[in-house]
Amino acid sequence: MAGAQKNIEKGIQGEAYVRDVIEKASELLGKLIRVYNHVILDFPSVYGKRTVEIDHIIVTDDRIIIGETKAANYVQTDYSEETWTLLNGVTTDNPIEQNHFHKQIFCSCFDIPREQVVTVEFLLEYSERSVRSHYPNDYVLGKDNLLEGICLLLSEGKEKLDFDELCKQLEKIEAKSAWRDAEHKENLEEIREIEEKTRTRDNHYRFKRTDTVKCPLCDGFLVFRYKPWVKKKLGNKKNTWNIALGCSNYSKTGCDKFIEPKKDGGQGFDDVEEIHIEDRMGWTMEERHVGTILDEYINLREENETLKNNLQAERSKNQAKDNQILDLKETNKRLEINVAKAINRAEEAEQECKRFKRFFGQVYIKK
């Protein structure tokens, strides 16, 4: 499809553009940072041995920034929606959720506290977006504040952390990742296919990509099997139920634990107990927000906006008072004129009256 190809090219250009901006920010700040692009990481999942691809990993003295670049236009960009829809109608991951998922994999792969990792979504087709999302250490930058935002995120923190060992590993992984594009793409397609097959009746995916399931018979894990032999084993002629959970140790120890779906699709795996990544990693507490200079900047900008609005309101009030005073002055002037006229008239009336008095007086006297 020409449209899809165009989107891929736009994506590649977008990533290159962000790489340039990161380099520019590092030059502007005169700060040496380490950047790894296009890094493919492996992770265990109930969906099998799977991969994630992280667009940018920036390592500074005190934090790690995981960046996801999007050069696409969407029908809507509601931060809290699970999925976003591209203009061509294709449903795709909400990049905020996608990046959160990448962060979970990254932190679990290298055993790094979540508070040391910031995620940023670069929405290159958008501007004037809200910079903070619902995740505690996550930011959304658009074309209008990309360089500024990166500069502020790269600015000096208080503590220095040692990421040398991590960087050595990332260097090796980055080099290998270049050859794993096709594998990653296939992985993604397979996960999506399984997700669709295991949807629950209310249309949610039954398992998170970061979930694992322990085998009840051995120390292995249960993973989805859905290749043609499963279909044969399940005896399904229709294409709908050809999915089951099997033990990851099958080829090593022959453990043949096999869980078939009971009814339709995802509903059939209701009894399966998954282990969430939070539990595996011991992330029992809510992730703490760690303040950055970008936060301070956002706060100051908001305060500034409020002050500006207050000032404007104050000015409007003053203007209204000035107008009232002008009105009063007008009214006053009109009243003064009226009073003057009235006095005039009264004087005239008095004169008139005197004349009449005299006249009647004479008449009376004559009488």
Burial level of 47, CB count in 10 A (0-12/13-18/19+)?
buried
Per the structure block, which two tokens stand in for 139? 């930011």
C-alpha dist (Å) from residue 293 to 34, 66, 160? 20, 17, 16
Residue (of 64, 60, 69, 67) closest to 17 by Cα position? 69
Under the criterion CB under 5 A, does residue 215 sit at the interface with Zn ion? yes
State the minimum distance, in angstroms, from the CB of residue 217 to Zn ion: 4
The residue with tokens 């790094």 is: 112
Residues 28-47 that bind Zn ion (CB under 5 A): none
Q: Which stretch binds Zn ion (CB under 5 A): 8-16, 134-142, 210-218, 230-238?
A: 210-218
Characterize the bridge pairing of strands 221-225 and 213-214: antiparallel
Under the criterion CB under 5 A, does residue 255 sit at the interface with Zn ion? yes
256 CB contacts (<8 Å, ≥6 apart)?
Answer: 246, 247, 250
Per the structure block, which two tokens stand in for 145? 């504040």
Which residue's CB is nearer to Zn ion, number 180 or number 257?
257
Report the residue from 14, 67, 149, 220 that binds Zn ion according to the rule CB under 5 A. Answer: 220
Under the criterion CB under 5 A, does residue 214 sit at the interface with Zn ion? no
Which residue's CB is nearer to Zn ion, number 198 or number 248?
248
Q: Which stretch binds Zn ion (CB under 5 A): 65-73, 80-88, 248-256, 317-325?
A: 248-256
In angstroms, rounded to a whole number, what is the distance separating the alpha carbons of residues 40 and 174? 7
Which residue's CB is nearer to Zn ion, number 66 or number 259?
259
Which residue's CB is nearer to Zn ion, number 188 or number 218?
218
Q: Which stretch binds Zn ion (CB under 5 A): 49-57, 114-122, 245-253, 336-344?
A: 245-253
Which residue's CB is nearer to Zn ion, number 26 or number 249?
249
Q: Name the region of 300 (left: φ>0; alpha: ψ -120 to 50; beta: rest).
A: alpha
Report the residue from 218, 234, 272, 275 that binds Zn ion according to the rule CB under 5 A. Answer: 218
Report the residue from 65, 173, 245, 247 that binds Zn ion according to the rule CB under 5 A. Answer: 247
Q: What's the 3-state SS for 17-35? A: HHHHHHHHHHHHHCCCCEE
State the minimum distance, in angstroms, from the CB of residue 258 to Zn ion: 10
Q: Which stretch binds Zn ion (CB under 5 A): 18-26, 121-129, 211-219, 258-266?
A: 211-219
Q: Is 301 helix (H, G, I), strand (E, B) or coil?
A: helix
233 CB contacts (<8 Å, ≥6 apart)?
Answer: 244, 258
Cβ–Cβ < 8 Å for 119, 153: no
Q: How many residues bind Zn ion (CB under 5 A)?
A: 8
Which residue's CB is nearer to Zn ion, number 220 or number 261?
220
Per the structure block, which two tokens stand in for 106? 């990254």
Which residue's CB is nearer to Zn ion, number 65 or number 245?
245
Q: Which stretch binds Zn ion (CB under 5 A): 163-171, 212-220, 237-245, 332-340?
A: 212-220
Under the criterion CB under 5 A, does residue 244 sit at the interface with Zn ion? no
In angstroms, rounded to a whole number, what is the distance separating the alpha carbons of residues 191 and 146? 32
Which residue's CB is nearer to Zn ion, number 142 or number 220?
220
Residues 311-350 that bind Zn ion (CB under 5 A): none
Residue 50 has a CB neighbour count (10 Å cut-off) of: 20
Element (H, E) at 64: strand 64-70
Terminal-to-terminal C-alpha distance of the chain: 126
Report the residue from 31, 208, 233, 257 that binds Zn ion according to the rule CB under 5 A. Answer: 257
Q: Which stretch binds Zn ion (CB under 5 A): 37-45, 148-156, 198-206, 209-217?
A: 209-217
Under the criterion CB under 5 A, does residue 90 sit at the interface with Zn ion? no
The one-letter amino acid at 110:
F
Characterize the bridge pairing of strands 213-214 and 138-142: unpaired
Q: Which stretch binds Zn ion (CB under 5 A): 153-161, 201-209, 240-248, 286-294?
A: 240-248
Which residue's CB is nearer to Zn ion, number 184 or number 257?
257
**Which residues lie near Zn ion (CB under 5 A)?**
215, 217-218, 220, 247, 249, 255, 257
